[in-house]
Amino acid sequence: MDLEKVREYCLKKNGVTESLPFDEETPVYKVMDKMFCLANLTPPFSINIKCDPEKAVELREKYDDVQPGYHMSKIHWNTVLLGTTIPDKLLMQWIDDSYNLVVSKLSKADKEKLAKK
């Protein structure tokens, strides 16, 4: 999966916005102003995605191309190298998991706003 496909996939999700809050090389995808995915536009191309702490460790142990979150909480974030042996379908599932994890932690009011979008 390349960065453009990641971008398109993230932006199709309900309530997602894209911004560049850190620098011009790191697009951030948020749902209700909460980050669920960050991309790195400079090689090596990668994304950071939020993950359940136990699953984060499991994925790092299973896949060489999954590492502790770069510049993020190593407990809750993984960095996934793109253009590797990880199938697109699996990567999309991890993006879904990240999005759903963030949505599950939203306030009741934000969940209601999101449902109306």
Q: What CATH number did the domain enclosing 65 receive?
A: 3.90.1150.30
**Percent of the chain at pLDDT exceeding 90:** 92
- 25 burial class (0-12, 13-18, 19+ CB within 10 angstroms)? exposed
pLDDT tens across 33-58, in order?
999 999 999 999 999 999 999 999 99
Determine, yes or no, domain membership for 77. Answer: yes
Determine, yes or no, domain membership for 95. Answer: yes
pLDDT tens across 66-102, in order?
999 988 889 999 999 999 889 999 999 999 999 999 9
Overall domain count for the chain:
1
Secondary structure class of 40 (helix, strand, coil): strand
Determine, yes or no, domain membership for 113. Answer: no
Cα distance between residue 36 and residue 78, in whole Å: 11
Determine, yes or no, domain membership for 11. Answer: yes
**pTM: predicted TM-score of the whole model, two decimal places:** 0.95
**Domain span including residue 39:** 3-107
Confidence of residue 4 (pLDDT cuts 50, 70, 90): very high
Determine, yes or no, domain membership for 17. Answer: yes
Determine, yes or no, domain membership for 112. Answer: no
**How many C-alpha atoms does 114 have within 13 Å on its Cβ side?**
22
Determine, yes or no, domain membership for 117. Answer: no
Question: What pLDDT, on a 0 to 100 scale, did the predictor assign at position 9?
Answer: 98
Q: What are the start-end ranges of the E strands in 41-87?
A: 46-50, 66-68, 77-81
